[in-house]
């Protein structure tokens, strides 16, 4: 089951944190000097009421009035989390990065890295849009796994890495199909090869192989089309994409000389390396 930041965060809030303040003009809290624990308690109350913008500003106020207190240290990631809850991703990322820069060795740094990754992940657009946030999400998720491989955050990050890579592969497929429909076959081939080279464990691989068969047939490169179809048949013998490739080659009079069910696997390994290595 995927763990969300909303379930993971209570594990982090009891840890002594550290921080400094940031400016939020639209939710600014008037300066009235009060005990840190009073402001902090009110911020928590605002969180309980789902008033996340006000809570974030109040956590900042703890840091502003009592920058060296334990309460200030607790408030930094609380502010980041409140901003995340209100979809203020830029602020949440900034707060988390600030915490990491000040306290890279703190045991709550893992959560800060994870929160950054989640903020990028939740900004992923559909494959028809620019994928800058998707790439940022992938980088941030991989950093969580690399830095904290045994943490519960890494467990969730690994699942999201697979989803993110599949999304990036989908973008390559979308562009490749666009080129293919317009008969820009060489450009299409480059995109489909990117999928196989960079995202070879995603769900898009069978279609990418079939689209390569289509592209090679359109260019009249029969031998390449035959070898790609053979690789497709060997790896995905029951898929609709192999059936589509088989039907296409049959219509074009291109015979599949290799039976994917009986051929030596080394043949397909060599073909894969030659075609996509």
Is residue 11 very low, low, confident or very high in pLDDT (cuts 50, 70, 90)? Answer: very low
From-to residues of CATH 1.25.40.10 in the chain: 5-122, 171-276
Q: For residues 193 and 272, is the Cβ–Cβ distance under 8 A?
A: no
The fold adopted by the segment(s) 171-276 is 1.25.40
Distance of CA 27 to the CA centre of its chain: 31
Give the start-end residues of each E strand in the chain: none
- pLDDT score of 22: 43
More confident residue, 9 or 68: 68
This prediction's pTM: 0.77
- Most trustworthy range by pLDDT among 66-70, 99-103, 108-112: 108-112
For residue 268, the model assigns a pLDDT of: 55
Distance CA 151, CA 144 (A): 9
pLDDT at 13 (0 to 100): 41
Q: Environment class of residue 274 by beta-carbon count within 10 Å: exposed (0-12), middle (13-18) or buried (19+)?
A: exposed
**DSSP 8-state code for residue 129:** S
User: Per residue in 20-56, pLDDT tens?
Assistant: 344 444 445 455 677 878 889 999 999 999 999 999 9
> Beta-carbon neighbour count of residue 9 at 10 Å?
18
Residue 65 has pLDDT above 90, yes or no: no
pLDDT of the residue at 37: 82
3-class DSSP assignment, residue 150: coil
One DSSP character per residue, 48-116 reads HTT-HHHHHHHHHHHHHH-TTSHHHHHHHHHHHHHHHHTT-HHHHHHHHHHHHHH-TTSTTHHHHHHHH
Rounded to an integer, what distance in angstroms lies between the CA atom of residue 133 and that of residue 121? Answer: 7
The CATH homologous superfamily of the domain defined by 5-122: Tetratricopeptide repeat domain (1.25.40.10)
Per-residue pLDDT tens for 191-242?
999 999 999 999 999 999 999 999 999 999 999 999 999 899 988 988 999 9
pLDDT of residue 34: 78
The answer to whether residue 64 scores a pLDDT higher than 50 is yes
- At residue 244, the pLDDT reads 95
Give me the mean pLDDT over the 106-133 stretch: 90
């Amino acid at each position: 089951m995927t763990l969300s930041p909303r379930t993971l965060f209570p594990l982090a809030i009891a840890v002594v944190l550290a921080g400094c303040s940031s400016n939020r003009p639209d939710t600014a809290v008037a300066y009235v000097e009060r005990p840190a624990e009073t402001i902090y308690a009110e911020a928590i109350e605002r969180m309980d009421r789902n008033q996340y913008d006000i809570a974030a500003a109040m956590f900042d106020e703890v840091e502003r009035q009592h920058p060296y207190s334990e309460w200030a240290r607790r408030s930094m990631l609380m502010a980041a989390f409140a901003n995340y809850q209100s979809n203020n991703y830029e602020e949440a990322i900034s707060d988390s990065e600030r915490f990491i820069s000040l306290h890279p060795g703190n045991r709550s740094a893992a959560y800060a890295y994870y929160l950054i990754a989640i903020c990028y992940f939740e900004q992923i657009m559909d494959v028809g849009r620019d994928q800058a946030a998707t790439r940022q999400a992938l980088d941030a998720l991989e950093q969580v796994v690399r830095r904290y491989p045994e943490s519960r955050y890494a467990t969730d990050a690994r699942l999201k890495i697979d989803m993110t890579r599949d999304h990036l592969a989908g973008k390559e497929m979308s562009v490749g199909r666009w080129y293919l429909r317009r008969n820009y076959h060489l450009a299409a081939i480059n995109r489909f090869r990117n999928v196989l080279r960079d995202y070879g464990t995603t769900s898009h691989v069978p279609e990418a192989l079939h689209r390569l068969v289509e592209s090679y047939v359109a260019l009249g490169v029969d031998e390449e089309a035959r070898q790609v179809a053979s690789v497709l048949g060997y790896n995905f013998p029951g898929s609709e994409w192999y059936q589509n490739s088989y039907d296409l080659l049959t219509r074009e009079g291109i015979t599949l000389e290799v039976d994917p069910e009986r051929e030596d696997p080394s043949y397909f390994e060599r073909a894969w390396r030659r075609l996509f290595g």
